[in-house]
Amino acid sequence: MTDLKPLFAALLCATIFSGDAEAKGDLSSSAFGCKHLEDVADPRSLEGKSGYFYRIFTDMRLHFSFSDESIQNLAKLSEVLKEKGTTLIYAPVPTKSQAMPDFLPERAKLYGYDRKLAAQSYQTVIDRLKAANILAVDLQSPMLAAKSEDGLFFRSDFHWTAQGSRLAAKAIADVIKAQPGYASIKKTKFKTRELDRMVSFSTLRNNLQRFCKDALPVVESMAYETTKVDQSSGTVDLFGAEAADPIALVGTSMSNAEAGNFGGFISQYSSLTLTNYAISGGNQFGSILSYMTSREFQENRPRFLIWENPIYNNLGQYGPAPWVELLAAASQTCQPALEVQNIGEQQDEFFVDLASVKVASNQAVMVETQDQTIRNLTVEAALANGQHRSIAMHRGDRLRATGRFYFPLLPLEQAPIKSLKLTFNRPPEGGSELQLCSY
């Protein structure tokens, strides 16, 4: 009698390794000779159709951390800005799989991906934002309605192309033009022209290339330039040349990428001049914090503030700290400055007596120095019970140093606060000033 055990064992091993190869992607199933993209590469990625690559944990997720508290904070920020004459427009960028689901492979289902759920998860966030009276722009719908062949996102990178940027800009401009105050704003005619094709650096492509035998698609697209019709030599300044422009754009590398011409397209479709304060690598708050704590914002606020953010960015990631800064800066309702004494030989430490000052729960401390190179501030609170509490604030190298810091005292107040000691990373030119501001 024939022993079938070796045959069954061989078939079992073949099935296991075949399934593993199908799940992980091997050389034979990859158009670029890639392997281990799904289990070793950083970030773990999935090779789709026509050379499109998707990050598994970012581009294909079906749930986004948009808590009720984050929506409440965003709604309050919108309300405070509106009271001061600025309309906040929140523009969540859909993920690559939400904007271009047609190029996902069948294997995406192994990771729980569902096309309908992906689209609904984006729409749910938009609906919740609108229900809280937040002016949120749906960027997913126009992208899904567009032909996928347009290449809305780069094949080997997670950023949108100029075509994706253009669709998003038009959707935002349509919302701007629908606002009551739009008709009274001075209009400017713009034109956009094609330049040469541009190759952009991509960290994602470089990381994935290490696991692929053949060269991955280059992150290349047509570059565009938007100029005023009546000023052919003047392009739309993407780095904030004019603070008086009716539109201010804050956001991530999606807004800051030169190849995307995002700010230019918004100006073209809205007929309004725009200043772009977006920051690449500044996380979800870096750009808006840099702008709203600046003197440009306080001295000449825009009519519209567009805040672009990828849908997967968690607005609750850093707790209440960034929201306190944004709300206090938006309100800028401050009491007269308190006396600040310079202490120490280094001229970088200052003392503030708070023994006779009553701090309300809705007040934050604004520390300001005219020195816009200051990036670090350490605050030590001396309490009436003899204890000390401290906090440290840091403006990263990619953020603008504005010389202003806002922070709440309530978390430090385990007992009445007698005094504060302020320490900067170096002696600030012109000294420092401290005020209590409501938020």
Residue with tokens 């669709």: 167
Clarify whether 394 is annotated catalytic: no
Helix (H, G, I), strand (E, B) or coil at 184: helix
Residue with tokens 């209590």: 436
CB 189 within 8 A of CB 271: yes
Q: Give the active site residue among 157, 165, 255, 294.
A: 157
Give me Rg for the CA atoms of the chain. 26
> Amino acid identity of 214?
D
Cis peptide bond upstream of 43, omega within 30:
yes
**Would residue 157 show up in a list of annotated catalytic residues for this protein?**
yes
Q: What values do phi and psi take at 29, rounded to 5?
A: -100, 0
Residue ranges with strand state E in 133-174: 135-136
74: phi > 0 → left, psi -120 to 50 → alpha, else beta; which? alpha
CB of 380 closer than 8 Å to CB of 388: yes
159 annotated active-site: yes
From 30, 253, 271, 419, active-site residue: 253
- Other Cβ atoms within 10 Å of 3 Cβ, number: 7
Point out the catalytic residue in the list 59, 78, 97, 159.
Answer: 159
Given a contact cutoff of 8 angstroms between Cβ atoms, the answer to whether 100 and 148 are in contact is: yes
Residues with active-site annotation: 157, 159, 253
